[in-house]
């Protein structure tokens, strides 16, 4: 069993995102993502299923050209897709990638 205090994790910028992974197996990996006000995650082709859970803030997520605004305590789950995100106010979220079987 592993217990993680997400509120105490200090993420690094997107360019060093692999350092934000705090748990990984061959089936899935979990990371903290933080974007400052006006920040964005560039468009990426995700080959895995993805779960985003907003811990704090608000973010606009685009999945295969369909957009949704996620607020604190909301969750998005998607199959493999083209994904991007942008935030006006800043956001802190947990991202989970689950390998496609």
Confidence of residue 12 (pLDDT cuts 50, 70, 90): confident
Q: What is the pLDDT of residues 82-94, one digit of tens each?
A: 999 999 999 999 9
CA-nearest of 49, 39, 42 to 11 is 39
Q: What is the pLDDT of residue 81?
A: 97
Burial class of residue 84, CB neighbours in 10 A (0-12, 13-18, 19+): middle
**pTM reported for the whole predicted model:** 0.91
Q: Where exactly are the structural domains of the chain?
A: 15-98
**CATH tag, 15-98:** 2.60.120.10
Q: What is the pLDDT of residues 30-73, one digit of tens each?
A: 999 999 999 999 899 999 999 999 999 999 999 999 999 999 99
């Amino acid at each position: 069993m592993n217990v993680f205090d997400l509120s105490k994790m200090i993420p690094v910028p997107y360019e060093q995102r692999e350092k934000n992974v705090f748990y990984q197996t061959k089936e899935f990996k979990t990371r903290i993502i933080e974007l400052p006000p006006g920040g964005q995650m560039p468009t990426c082709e995700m080959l895995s299923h993805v779960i985003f859970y907003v811990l704090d803030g608000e973010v606009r997520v685009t999945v295969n050209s369909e957009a949704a605004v996620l607020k604190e305590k909301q969750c998005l789950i998607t199959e493999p897709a083209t994904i991007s995100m942008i935030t006006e106010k800043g956001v802190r979220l947990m991202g989970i990638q689950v390998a496609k079987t």
